[in-house]
Amino acid sequence: SIRNFTESQLKFLLSNLIMGIEYIHSNKIIHRDLKPENILFDNKGNAYITDFNISCKKEEINSNNDISGTPIYMAPESIFLREQSYGVDFYSLGIICYECIMGQRPYEGDSRQDIQKLLNENNYNIKDDEGISDLCQSLINGLLDKNPGSRSGSQSGAVELKEHLFFKGFNWELLEKRKYVSPLVDIIRHSKSRNNNLADELFDQEYCNRTEEIDEETQNRYKQIMEHENNVNKKCNSICLYILRN
């Protein structure tokens, strides 16, 4: 299971991811594979979204046979091969939030069929008796809404999440300028020290220091996003949220 985050730590992580999703969606692109393994941190504790291998524009998704993604983080509409839109990223974000604050995923399954059965049988919301504030519950449960039409973010995208009362008083402009002091720094430093051998295994220095080569078509499609993330891709100090797992 993943290390439990405090709500203040979750808020900072979530704010970073919301900003990233907002930028991706503003370029008419759906990420489709948001998960802890695709989150990188710089040495100041700022989080970035990476790995756009299966990202695409909405009109390029063939809902009848497109099963791209990691099943445990896929939205119900992706799992059941229904019409998919930007909301699939918000659902994946909800899974990540649940995992961070609860220390475990809301459900487990090895295949798309396993997840289909679980989603048909249950709703996976945070309950009132689980020690999480009402506002935090509201935000996460809204992201985990199985109905994409009523899911948080379905009306006005990332702006809707930024205006949620969970973020009341949060200075988004300060975050955009990277002037917030990240509450994740100590966790990341501790994890890097505690998992030094694992980090060496997962992140080869030569690999982390190079910019991944991509074909011309992909380069043109994601040019703006890759430029935005260029500094992250070149930082060998970046560490994946995966390493925070026990």
pLDDT > 70 fraction of the chain, expressed in percent and rounded:
73
Residues with Cβ within 8 Å of residue 196, at least 6 apart in sequence = none
| Whether 128 is catalytic | no
C-alpha triplet 68, 148, 50: angle, nearest 5°:
45
- Spatial CB neighbours of 195, under 8 Å, sequence gap ≥ 6: 243
Q: How many CB atoms lie within 10 A of CB 128?
A: 9
Task: Tell me the mean pLDDT in the region 111-125.
Answer: 85
- Inter-residue contact 118 to 125 (CB < 8 Å): no
Spell out the residues 6+ positions from residue 77 whose beta carbon is closer than 8 angstroms to its own: 63, 83, 84, 87, 88, 148
Question: Above 60 in pLDDT, residue 5?
Answer: yes
Question: Would you say the pTM of this structure is higher than 0.75?
Answer: yes
Q: Spot the catalytic one: 33, 66, 128, 215.
A: 33
